[in-house]
Amino acid sequence: MRETHNVAKDGLFEPEYVNIFGVPFTFLPHEGDGGAPPPPPQPKTKIEPDNRKAAFEITFPNITRIDHVYRPKLSVDFSKVRTLELDPYQSITEAELAAIIAGKPNPAALSEIDLKEINDKFRMQTIIFKIAQKIYNSENPNWKGRKEAFLIQLIRIIEEYIASDRIAIKHDLFNQDDLKRKILILLNMNKVVQNIWDAIRTENTQQLTPVFDTEKPIRSTGDMPTWYTSKPCEYTKKSHINFCVVDSTWEASEAFILDKHKNVDAWVKNDHLGFAILYNFKGVISKYFPDFIVHLKSGRHLVLEVKGIDDEKNKIKRTYLAEWVKAINEQGGFGIWDCAVSYSPGDLEGILKAF
């Protein structure tokens, strides 16, 4: 019997495996289903704060949420409200759309009878009240006046919003037919709520009040628990953490610049630090984790986000990040914080100079 081995690029034989009672053996033929056995696990790198680099420790406020204190009388300048575009072809399945347009009975879709039933069940005033109720339930604790006055004002603003040109329907059939327009708004309820809610918050907030974690109101890079990774890692000089875990060549380039730049006093990649920003996207509350925290020679802290492709969700995240920065600066006691977005490694130099 002739024995053959595959030779790797380094001139050495590639290992072969066989599982015998769950124990892998090398340099033995693998008898099984003919598929290649899994390679051995990659070695893990230990990621932890480095006491020798304690001078580069970064502290940050640990906030659970930000409360809004609203002015007693709500108002919205609709000329400043972002236009919300609703596309029927993105909101409804093709079968449902065909039934709505043609009005033909379809057991797998909505028929004209279905639409009339929906119209009877969900009148426009009902839809408006549901939008107002969703905002009211979330913002009610921040309202200092009479609760019923808050709800009444919300309903009035949403009525004006629904009737305005700030909701643009791409398909003429839906734009010109009140029933179909109502159905489309109903199917895109979360988007509608998001758009008008952002406008109300922006124009009517008198004060932002950060709510701190009661057990640990301030966190630092020294609090990061030890963890392990098989991803590529780079040693850092100006980071309290021993290595920067690299997820992309772009991120590696940004980390290299931060570590070498004369305007940077200390920096850290926001990985397992627990630094998170709460945001609301389409009615769903989530957390997102900005990429870097940078302490500049000027004494300012910069929350740096790295984004190659921008979209609506990222824009919403940045809105809430800017709100977080504003709340911290108004609170005082944590120095001056800023935020910025790097769209390519080439713009980081300008960002660091600007702050």
Instruction: Flag whether 314 is in a domain.
Output: yes
Instruction: Flag whether 61 is in a domain.
Output: yes
User: What pairs with residue 293 in β-bridges?
Assistant: 268, 303
Phi, psi of 116 (to 5 degrees): -70, -35
* Cβ 338 vs Cβ 354: under 8 Å: no
pLDDT of residue 169: 86
Integer Cα distance of 130 and 162 in angstroms: 13
Name the pLDDT band for 118 (thresholds 50, 70, 90).
low
If one counts the domains in the chain, the total is 2
Instruction: Flag whether 335 is in a domain.
Output: yes
Cα→Cα distances 229→51, 244, 272, Å:
20, 11, 12
User: Are 329 and 277 in a shared domain?
Assistant: yes
Integer Cα distance of 208 and 219 in angstroms: 21
Share of the chain above pLDDT 90, in %: 46
Instruction: Flag whether 70 is in a domain.
Output: no
Which residue, among 89, 121, 115, has the nearest Cα to 188 in the 3D structure?
89
Q: What mean pLDDT comes out for the span 106-128?
A: 63
Higher pLDDT, 143 or 266: 266
pLDDT of residue 106: 46
pLDDT of residue 69: 86
pLDDT of residue 284: 80
Higher pLDDT, 121 or 323: 323
Domain boundary among 208, 232, 258: 208
User: Are 131 and 243 in a shared domain?
Assistant: no
pLDDT of residue 33: 55
pLDDT of residue 139: 81
Name the pLDDT band for 148 (thresholds 50, 70, 90).
confident
Instruction: Flag whether 12 is in a domain.
Output: no
pLDDT of residue 13: 55
Beta strands 337-342 and 301-306: pairing type?
Answer: parallel
pLDDT of residue 108: 45
User: Are 201 and 257 in a shared domain?
Assistant: no
Mean pLDDT over each residue of the chain, to the nearest integer: 82
Name the pLDDT band for 231 (thresholds 50, 70, 90).
very high
* Cβ 277 vs Cβ 304: under 8 Å: no
Higher pLDDT, 91 or 254: 254
Q: What mean pLDDT comes out for the span 219-235?
A: 94
Instruction: Flag whether 219 is in a domain.
Output: yes
* Cβ 42 vs Cβ 176: under 8 Å: no
pLDDT at 96 over 60: no
pLDDT of residue 325: 97
Joined together, the tokens standing for residue 267 give 């920096």
Q: What mean pLDDT comes out for the span 288-310?
A: 92
Instruction: Flag whether 310 is in a domain.
Output: yes
Residue type, 40: P
Name the pLDDT band for 53 (thresholds 50, 70, 90).
very high
User: Are 266 and 306 in a shared domain?
Assistant: yes
State whether residue 200 is helix, strand or coil: helix
Range list of β-strands (E), the chain? 17-20, 23-26, 45-47, 59-61, 63-70, 84-86, 167-169, 205-212, 218-220, 227-229, 233-235, 243-245, 264-269, 277-281, 284-288, 292-296, 301-306, 337-342
In the block, residue with structure tokens 């389409």: 282
pLDDT of residue 275: 96
User: Are 235 and 171 in a shared domain?
Assistant: no
Name the pLDDT band for 146 (thresholds 50, 70, 90).
confident
pLDDT of residue 10: 55
* Cβ 315 vs Cβ 330: under 8 Å: no
pLDDT of residue 3: 47
Cα→Cα distances 83→78, 157, 164, Å:
9, 15, 10
Which residue, among 264, 337, 260, has the nearest Cα to 302 in the 3D structure?
337
Neighbours of 287 (CB within 10 A): 10
User: Are 238 and 344 in a shared domain?
Assistant: yes
User: Are 236 and 345 in a shared domain?
Assistant: yes
Q: What mean pLDDT comes out for the span 192-217?
A: 91
Cα→Cα distances 342→89, 162, 219, 225, 348, Å:
33, 36, 25, 28, 6
User: Are 316 and 196 in a shared domain?
Assistant: no
Higher pLDDT, 355 or 159: 159
* Cβ 47 vs Cβ 228: under 8 Å: yes
Range of the domain at 192: 83-208
Domain boundary among 161, 186, 208: 208
Integer Cα distance of 95 and 108 in angstroms: 7
Joined together, the tokens standing for residue 333 give 């006691």
pLDDT at 149 over 60: yes
pLDDT of residue 334: 93
Phi, psi of 47 (to 5 degrees): -110, 125
Instruction: Flag whether 127 is in a domain.
Output: yes
pLDDT of residue 121: 65
pLDDT of residue 220: 97
pLDDT at 224 over 70: yes
Integer Cα distance of 225 and 213 in angstroms: 18
User: Are 183 and 286 in a shared domain?
Assistant: no
pLDDT of residue 76: 95
The lowest-confidence range among 122-136, 175-189, 227-241, 283-297 is 175-189
pLDDT in tens, 15-47: 554 444 444 444 444 455 556 677 766 678 999
Cα-atom radius of gyration of the chain, to the nearest Å? 28
User: Are 278 and 193 in a shared domain?
Assistant: no
Domain boundary among 208, 229, 260: 208
User: Are 201 and 217 in a shared domain?
Assistant: no
Q: What's the CATH code of the domain at 264?
A: 3.40.1350
User: Are 92 and 154 in a shared domain?
Assistant: yes
The listed range with the strongest mean pLDDT (107-116, 122-131, 202-211) is: 202-211
User: Global pTM?
Assistant: 0.73
Integer Cα distance of 152 and 210 in angstroms: 27
